[in-house]
Amino acid sequence: MKNYTLPWHDVIWSKLTKDVNKLPHAILFSGQTGVGKKRLAERFAIFLLCESPVENEACGICKSCKLIAAGNHPDYIFITPEEKKKIISVDQTREVSRQLQLKSHIAGKKVAIIYPAESMNVNAANSLLKILEEPPLDNIIILVTSKISHLPMTIKSRCIKISVNLPNHDLAASWLQMQESNVDIDNAASLLKCAGGAPLLAQSLLAKDFSQTRMQLLDDVSGIARQQSDFSACAKRWKETGADLCLMWFQGFMADLIKITMANTAKTSNNLPGLTNIELSSDLKLPKKTLNLRQLFEFSDVLSESRKLLNAPMDELLLLEDILVRWQGLMKA
């Protein structure tokens, strides 16, 4: 059976599995992307459906565990946007409702996971709300979200909310090194920085060979700042790479820039610990000008607001272009 265990989930796990007879009908896992919420939800669903758990873990060998591993457990429902779509549709949540009304086949209960919950459109959320208002007996619905503010209050208020937090840096770095034999301590630290501290995201950046992407992103922001690159070509590249990932990296870049600017102001530029983009300590790759800290902070806010907008149905290309235009303006002014 696949290993779903992550060491920073230990405390939540012991709380979740303490008394399964007193579980609420709906649980909402929230937390940053890459913290392992989906894995936790899957591990919990498998545990709940297992016929003979051993020491608060699914046994891995009963009929139920085997059916889940094979991907066809009749009491396990996993809802996610269909391929190449961004939203969970009302048809999908109606299907959850239909399946939850049916009698359980094996485990005596049914478990549904909705991932990511913020992808439900308004109609889908309304139809899910009906289930949450009158939950069929012995069913548990697990919602998973990294954007809890995007969920309707009516849904949130009917769930027990559990936030899955980031591990501390040492635990995250040692976990990452254990998973990836080719990652040394500096490498792990840099990947975790690019991933905002989230270990699973750091791991996926490594798998995607993010170091090359990062060099491209550095080239892009410096090209735009020097008015040598084309906005729309750059925005298109960022969209293909993943708008959220690029903007998250851009936030890290801005944090670097703020640190460098502060160090320059204080004339302590020899000592710059913890840059995400270490190259910047020797060469800023930007037009020579005195940077205004307040403007840098304001632009960082624009980036974080823009990331929040990404999930709404909107034109990502336009959003990215707008950010790059603003970035050029900031460097030009």
Q: Which residues bind Zn ion (CB under 5 A)?
A: 50, 58-59, 62, 65
Is 216 within 8 Å of 237 (Cβ atoms)?
Answer: yes
Contact 169, 161 (CB under 8 A): no
Closest separation in Å from C-beta 2 to Zn ion: 13
Rank residues 68 and 224 by Cβ distance to Zn ion and give the closer one.
68
For Zn ion, the closer of residues 106 and 262 by Cβ is 106
Q: Is the dihedral of CA 230, 232, 233, 239 positive or negative?
A: positive
Helix, strand, coil tally for the chain in percent (to 5):
55, 10, 35
Among residues 59 and 272, whose Cβ is nearest to Zn ion? 59
**Distant-in-sequence, close-in-space partners of 5: CB < 8 Å, separation ≥ 6:** 43
For residues 50 and 192, which CB has a smaller minimum distance to Zn ion in the complex? 50
Nearest distance in Å: CB 55, Zn ion: 12
How many other CB atoms are found less than 10 A from the CB of residue 271?
A: 8
Q: How far is the CB of 52 from Zn ion (least distance, A)?
A: 6
Question: Minimal distance in Å, beta carbon 271 to Zn ion?
Answer: 54
Element (H, E) at 53: none
Distance between alpha carbon 106 and the CA centroid of its chain, in Å? Answer: 33
The least CB distance from residue 81 to Zn ion, in Å, is 29
Cβ within 8 Å of residue 136, ≥6 positions away: 100, 101
Least gap, CB of 8 to Zn ion (angstroms): 24
- 25 is written with which tokens? 């009908």
Q: Shortest distance, CB of residue 23 to Zn ion, whole angstroms? A: 18
Distance of closest approach, residue 58 Cβ to Zn ion, in angstroms: 5
Residue whose CB is less far from Zn ion, 23 or 106 = 106
Looking at beta carbons only, is 20 or 132 nearer to Zn ion?
A: 20
Where would I find the beta strands (DSSP E) of 83-211?
110-114, 139-145, 160-163
Residue 110 or 307: the one with the smaller Cβ distance to Zn ion is 110
CA distance 170 to 5: 18
Name the nearest CA neighbour of 248 among 272, 226, 276, 285. 276
- Of the pair 5, 304, the CB lying nearest Zn ion is at 5
C-alpha 192/C-alpha 318 separation (Å) is: 29
With beta carbons less than 8 A apart as the criterion, state whether 245 and 316 touch: no
Q: Which helix (H) or strand (E) holds 157?
A: none
